[in-house]
Amino acid sequence: MLGILYAIVPIFAWGSMGTISTKIGGRPNQQTLGMTLGGLLFAVIVYLFTKPELNLTIWLVGILGGLLWSVGQNFQFQAMKDMGVSVGNPLSSGSQLILGSLIGVLAFHEWTKPIQFVLGGIALCSLVIGFYFSSRQDKSSATFQENHNYSKGFRDVMISTVGYVSFTVLYNNIMHFDALAVILPMAVGMVLGALAFMKGQVTLEGVVLKNAFVGILWGIGNIFMLLAAAEAGLAIAFSFSQLGAIISIIGGIFFLGEKKTKKEVRWIIIGTICFIAGALLLGIVKSY
């Protein structure tokens, strides 16, 4: 029970990041830089309190993971700009679950039992249906094309997914480190990646510094993710954390004022139910 309670924190911490960052404003590159600076501050504080042992391998892999993460985050911000938070964030989370699961099964043979393939197949189908309905647009709506570029948004989601999943596979399947040890090198890599996206045009404007708060939210989500994994297992903790997409949907509609028709609201409800079912089923599959 305690593990589940811990797992709820990343849902809200990570699920609200897109809404808060969009509300603060700034270009995707500025949002990424501000967020990574906040994440670096958090990582330094964690390091000073925990003093984990760091070696060259941890630094190199940590920085590489941070660079991959920055690709995922930057293009997720791009997707949210092109499609809206209530569409872009759920698609990003769901794509990560699907691609990550497929790589785990095909490359690392994480599913070995028949029941895992049955439940896993149902979970992936549920996620696909959930993404379809969550991103479906009412073409009769007057706001269908208003300030949105869905074709570019889908491309952004795909690039973001590759970045995020590569980072996850690197840390969880290829290399295994103490999460508290790797968080500082990773944060350094995140900042380096964000600086690369800025192409040398770095200015610490107010909007960048305000977005640092989002990076602290990311850090809080990370800590409670670790606590949840310790209590309930990584499978449950990770699957629960992806439910933050629901917070993004709510935040996009009610706090950012993203307009939805009655049809779109019904589709979002269907998609959300399917998304929850798929994420929870994947957690069950991984726990076998």
Helices 179-198 and 28-50 sit at what angle, rounded to 10 degrees?
150
Q: Please list the pLDDT of the chain residue by residue as tens digits (288 residues).
A: 676 788 888 889 988 998 999 999 988 999 999 999 999 999 999 999 999 989 999 999 999 999 999 999 999 999 998 888 888 888 888 888 888 888 888 888 878 899 989 998 999 899 889 888 877 877 766 555 555 777 898 999 999 999 988 988 887 778 777 778 888 999 999 999 999 998 867 677 888 999 999 999 988 988 887 777 767 666 666 677 777 878 888 888 888 888 888 888 899 889 888 988 888 888 788 777
Q: Cα 35 from chain centroid?
A: 13
Q: CA 52, CA 154: separation in Å to the nearest integer? A: 39
Say which residues have a Cβ less than 8 Å from residue 250's Cβ, sequence separation at least 6.
none
Confirm if 189 and 63 have CB atoms less than 8 A apart. Answer: yes
